[in-house]
């Protein structure tokens, strides 16, 4: 039994010695070719690019309120034209950089999305000005694209990263509105597109399947604030100009849930020696 134990110990020592020699030879050969040995552990540090897609939805109904002015003088209102609850799909790309400091991961990410987030509303006001008077308005708000630039701060457990994020948001918002009454006044079909700036807050979880490939699930809330729109009133079949105008204030905000796929350049695996 003592001889068997001695033989096993000798075999283990010999195997360990051979492994060390082989590893040293491999590393020496790798370094002679101008590269550092491959790192052994998972790291979040590095640049990455990716794609994402998801769904946006409003968390609350944003009421559409209109009022009528004569020149600059209030004439009628405010009155309700229903509420908007925009929703729809979106998809796009992102690029970013992470730096891992122990379990702490800090970084910055920018993304750009094409979107089909929209909703429409119709409101009827009666009586309007006099008994039997009726005014009606239809409106629509659409988000055709949006993007963000956000710092990220997270905590990593090996291949899993839990993070919070927030920063600047901007988007292309289109507002459509048409108003009319039963006295012969109406506004032309009004369509205004503008780029609006706001803010974004959110967070998510990301998992690394390999040194390069990562999958994330992310929530964001985006708020682009309230925008004022003004449409002139016309009178009669010929559309004669008047001093009356219809004014609306529309607030654009929504929540998003998205899935993303990131590809990171792993600089540690074949980094040239300096």
Tell me, what's the pLDDT at 267?
58
Give percent of the chain above pLDDT 70: 82
Q: What are the residue ranges spanned by the domains of the chain?
A: 1-38, 40-264
CB atoms within 10 A of CB 263: 14
Domain 40-264 fold is Porin (2.40.160)
Condensed to tens digits (0 to 9), the pLDDT of residues 74-115 reads 999 999 888 889 999 999 999 999 999 999 999 999 999 999
Residue 188's SS3 state is: coil
Secondary structure of the chain: what % helix, strand, coil (to 5)?
Answer: 10, 70, 20
Question: Please, is 218 exposed, middle or buried when counting C-beta atoms within 10 Å of its C-beta (0-12, 13-18, 19+)?
Answer: buried
Residue 211's SS3 state is: coil
Tell me, what's the pLDDT at 268?
53
Question: Average pLDDT, stretch 265-272?
Answer: 56
């Amino acid at each position: 039994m003592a001889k068997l134990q001695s033989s096993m110990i000798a075999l283990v020592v010999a195997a360990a010695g051979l492994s060390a020699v082989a590893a040293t030879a491999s590393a020496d050969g790798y370094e002679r070719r101008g590269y550092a040995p491959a790192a052994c552990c998972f790291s979040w540090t590095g640049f990455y690019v990716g794609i994402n897609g998801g769904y946006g939805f409003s968390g609350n109904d944003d009421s559409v309120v209109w009022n009528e002015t004569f020149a600059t003088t209030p004439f009628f209102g405010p009155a309700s034209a229903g509420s908007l609850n925009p929703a729809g799909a979106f998809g796009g790309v992102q690029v970013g950089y992470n730096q891992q400091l122990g379990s702490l991961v800090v970084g910055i990410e920018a993304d750009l999305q094409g979107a089909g987030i929209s909703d429409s509303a119709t409101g009827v006001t009666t009586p309007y000005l006099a008994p039997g008077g009726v005014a009606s308005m239809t409106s629509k708000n659409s988000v055709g694209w949006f993007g963000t630039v956000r710092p990220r701060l997270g905590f990593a457990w090996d291949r899993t990263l839990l993070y919070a994020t927030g920063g600047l948001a901007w988007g292309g918002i289109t507002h459509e509105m048409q108003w009319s009454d039963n006295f012969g006044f109406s506004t032309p079909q009004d369509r205004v597109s503008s780029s609006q700036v706001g803010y974004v807050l959110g967070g998510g979880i990301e998992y690394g399947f390999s040194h390069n490939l990562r999958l994330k699930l992310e929530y964001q809330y985006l708020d682009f604030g309230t925008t004022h729109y003004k449409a002139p009133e016309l009178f009669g079949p010929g559309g004669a100009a008047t001093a009356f105008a219809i004014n609306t204030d529309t607030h654009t905000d929504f929540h998003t849930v998205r899935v993303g796929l990131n590809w990171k350049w792993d600089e540690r695996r074949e980094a040239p020696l300096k």
